[in-house]
Amino acid sequence: MASKKAPAPVDIEQLVAENRRARYQYEILEIVEAGLVLSGTEVKTLRSGKVSLEEAYGRISADAAWLVGAHIDEYVHGNRMNHSPTRKRKLLLRKQEIKRLHAKVTQKGLTLVPLRLYFRGGWAKLEIALCRGKRLGDKREVSKKREAEREIGRYH
C-alpha cells in the first residue's frame, strides 16, 4: 500500500507566472486573491511553468468571476482530452467580493488585471487587481523617478 504524501505547508508560495507589465501600464487600486477552477492537465502544465498572463484580464458576469485570455499550454503528455490553452477559467471568490468588484468595474475606466499566479499549499491562486490605466505622462513620470533614485544610489 502506497503511503500518502504530507500536504505542502500553507505558508510556502511557489510562483508560477507574473504579469510584470501590469504594474507599469496600470495604477493598482486594490489586490484580491482568488482560487482557480482548473482541469488536471492544466495543473500539470502550471507546475512546469508554461503559462502567460500578459494578455489576460478578469471579467465578472452572471454572479461569477472569470479569467479570460490567460494562455496555459497544452500538457505535453496529455491525450485527446487535453485542455484548450486559452479557455475561460472560473475564479473562486465569495459572493460579496464578486458583487463589490462588479460595482467597481462598472465605473468608468476600471478593469481587473491578473498580477501573479502561484501555488500555496498545493492550491493554485491568482492575485487579481482592480486597476485604472495609466496615461503616457504618468508612465514617463514613474520612469524618471526610478532613474533619479538609481542615480542617487550610485553616489551613496
pLDDT of 1 > 70? The answer is no
Query: pLDDT digits over 10-20, tens only?
Result: 568 889 999 98
> What is the pTM assigned to this prediction?
0.77
pLDDT value at residue 115:
95
Query: pLDDT digits over 87-146, tens only?
Result: 899 999 999 999 999 999 988 879 999 999 999 988 999 999 999 988 877 778 888 888
What is the third-level CATH fold of 13-155? Small Protein B; Chain: A; (2.40.280)
Q: Please name which of 127, 110, 134 lies closest in space to residue 70, comparing C-alpha atoms.
A: 127
* 56-68 burial: b if 16+ Cβ within 10 Å, else e: bbbbbeeeebbbb
